[in-house]
Amino acid sequence: MTEDLKNWNALADGWSEWVHHNDNRLYVLDPAHLTQIGDVAGKRVLDAGCGEGRFARMLAQRGAKVTAFDFSPRMIELATQIESDKPLGIDYLLADMTDLSRFADNTFDIAVAYLSLIDVSDYERALDEITRTLRPGGTFQFSLVHPCFMTPDARWEPTTPGTVPIWDKDKLYKKVDNYYPARELRFRMWPTAPVETINYHRPLSDYAHACRAAGLLIRDILEPFPTEEVLAQRDWLREFVRAPAMILIDCVKPA
């Protein structure tokens, strides 16, 4: 068992609780993904790197025929338990993003990788495999931690030196540094996480070149930020307006 797989298995139970209370996803990235993906009713959708299945369930609730996979057995076990309790017709499978040989060519109308490509070492191979499974004219949407503003050494400089800036008024400016080279990152997803998360920082051009090599055309790029209504209740999310922390890339497989 590889280290990253071992770690995600160890994180799975805590993750399944943490992810449902993550404001960045709930109020920033969820709306962006759902708006960009559009009407999914009756569409065959592949959720690549589904974790415990939160986004797969959102798609299924909107009428999609969802196939979702993850390389972590514990994540798939948790997702399957939820599906058993509250069936939505989601087919959960154990698979690695770099080997989707169980899926035939031209199978899906839509594929999505919600903050999951950043966890894959061989992301070029993953893009090749996802593209192969898409029908001609099918779309692929993937989100990333924004590599331009969330560099390995990025941090908010506090208005008052020596303090930890939480509220927008406490954040003087965001310092970004060491954009190059691409590298592996290790960190604790939440303070009491039992093990480190392993993912990868890559320059944005690396993803663009990999999409081109896989035969995908980039048709749109979004840098999502919360609405003023959300900001009125969650001031700490205003940093997404000042320096977006996530990016969504929308691609199509040419017909």
Distance CA 152, CA 162 (A): 20
Q: Would you place residue 24 in the very low, low, confident or very high pLDDT band (cuts 50, 70, 90)?
A: very high
Domain for residue 83, yes or no? yes
**Does the pLDDT at position 1 exceed 90?**
no
Distance CA 91, CA 76 (A): 10
Domain for residue 216, yes or no? yes
Domain for residue 18, yes or no? yes
Give the three-class secondary structure for 111: strand
* pLDDT value for 124: 98
Kindly report the pTM of this predicted structure: 0.96
Is 174 within 8 Å of 148 (Cβ atoms)? no
Sign of the alpha-carbon dihedral angle for 136, 139, 144, 146: positive
Domain for residue 164, yes or no? no
How many structural domains are present in the chain?
A: 1
- How confident is the prediction for the chain on average, in pLDDT? 97
Beta bridge partners of 48: 69
Domain for residue 179, yes or no? no
Non-local CB neighbours of 30 within 8 Å, separated by 6+ positions: 55, 58
E-state strands within the chain: 44-48, 65-70, 91-94, 108-113, 134-145, 155-158, 171-175, 183-187, 197-201, 217-222, 246-252
Interval 190-234: pLDDT, tens: 999 999 999 999 999 999 999 999 999 999 999 999 999 999 999
Domain for residue 46, yes or no? yes
Give the three-class secondary structure for 110: strand
For residue 88, give its domain range: 3-146+186-252
Domain for residue 161, yes or no? no
- Span 14-33, mean pLDDT? 95
Q: Which of 47, 89, 99 is nearest to 80 (CA)?
A: 89
E-state strands within 107-229: 108-113, 134-145, 155-158, 171-175, 183-187, 197-201, 217-222
Domain for residue 175, yes or no? no
Interval 126-140: pLDDT, tens: 999 999 999 999 999
Residue 208 is part of a domain; what is its CATH number?
3.40.50.150
